[in-house]
Each structure stands twice: as C-alpha cells, then as structure tokens.
Amino acid sequence: MIISYFYEKEIILEVIVRDNNVDHALRTLKKKMQREGMYREMKKRRAYEKPSEKKAREKAESARRWRKLHRKSSRSY
C-alpha cells in the first residue's frame, strides 16, 4: 500500500506502508510534509493575505535567512 499526498494534480510525496504498519507510514509522511514546508503553505492559504502583510512577511523571511546565513559564515573553527 502506498500513501500519497496529492497537491494540484501532482504527486508530491509518497510513503510505502510496510508490514501493514500504517502508523509508522503516517509519521513518516508527516515528517516529509514538515520538511517540505507544506504545513506552512497550507496555513498561509487558509485565509486571504493582504499585499502589505505579504510584503512584511517576505521581508521578515528574507531578514531571517540573511541572519542564518551570516551566523553560519561568521563561525570560526
């Protein structure tokens, strides 16, 4: 048995159920969805986002990415 997550008519994630262990397969699928950022995408699409809110969110995400990159590059070993 294969558990698939369909999104916009395209298979994105697929998990194979082994030994009828559906609980383990669901945990694996949820981890993959978390890693791919699907939960964040679904939450974002729940309600309309005003253009000003979108701009502020994208600016904050950009700053967060920059800080993360800067933190990684400034480490000395």
Per-residue model confidence as pLDDT tens digits over 42-74: 888 899 999 999 999 999 999 999 999 998 887
Cα–Cα separations (whole angstroms), residue 73 to 63, 66, 68? 15, 10, 9
Q: Per-residue pLDDT tens for 12-52?
A: 778 889 999 999 999 998 998 898 888 888 888 899 999 99
What pLDDT is attached to residue 56?
A: 96
Quote the CA–CA distance of 22 and 15 in Å, as a whole number: 10
pLDDT computed for residue 8 by the predictor: 57
